[in-house]
Amino acid sequence: MSSYTAQVKISNAPPMARVYTYAQDSQVGPLVEDSVEVSKIGRRLEGPRVGIWDQEVMKASADSNGDFLIKPDRRQFDQVQAFVSSQKTLDLFEAYAQRSLPWAFDNETLGVGPHAGEGVNAYYQRFAESVSFYYFDSKALGKQVQTAQSADVVSHETGHAILDGLKPEYGHTFERETKAFHEAFGDCAAMLLTLSRPVNCQHILDQSGGDLSHENCLSRLGEEFGTAVRRLNNNPADDRDYLRTHLNPFTYVDPNTLPSDGPRDELSGESHSFCQVWSRAFYQAVAGIFAQQPGRDAADLQRSGEIVGHLFTLGTQMASPARARYAQVASAMVRADRLLYDGQHSQALQQAFASANIACDLEEVPDFTWQQRPTNASEAQTLVDQLAPQGSGFVAQRVIQDGHGFTLVDGLRKETLRHQQHGVSSEVAEGITLTFDGNGRLLHRVYDQPSQDSERVGLGDELRRLPNGPASWQAVRNLADGTLLVARLPVFVD
Q: Residue 5: what pLDDT?
A: 36
How far, in Å, CA of 132 to CA of 115, rounded? 7
Interstrand relation of 220-221 and 244-245 (parallel, antiparallel or unpaired): antiparallel
Q: Give percent above pLDDT 90 in the chain.
A: 79
> Is residue 114 assigned to a domain?
no
Which residues share a beta bridge with 485?
A: 425, 477
Phi and psi at residue 446, to the nearest 5°? -140, 135
> Is residue 454 assigned to a domain?
yes
Please, what's the b/e burial string for 346-377 (b: 16 or more CB within 10 A of its CB; e: otherwise)?
bebbbebbebbebebeeeebeeeebeeebeeb
Q: What is the mean pLDDT of residues 435-451?
A: 92
Does residue 239 register a pLDDT over 70? no
> Of 466, 494, 492, nearest to 125 (Cα)?
492
Q: What is the mean pLDDT of residues 172-184?
A: 96
> Is residue 333 assigned to a domain?
no
Does residue 2 register a pLDDT over 70? no
Domain count along the chain: 1
Whole-model pTM: value is 0.95
For 405, the domain range is 381-493
pLDDT bracket for residue 136 (50, 70, 90): very high
Phi and psi at residue 268, to the nearest 5°? -135, 175
pLDDT tens digits along 336-372: 999 999 999 999 999 999 999 999 999 899 999 999 9
Indicate the angle between helix axes 298-318 and 76-97, nearest 10 degrees: 70
Interstrand relation of 31-37 and 220-221 (parallel, antiparallel or unpaired): unpaired
> Is residue 421 assigned to a domain?
yes
> Is residue 487 assigned to a domain?
yes
> Is residue 423 assigned to a domain?
yes
> Is residue 73 assigned to a domain?
no
Does residue 423 register a pLDDT over 90? no
> Is residue 477 assigned to a domain?
yes
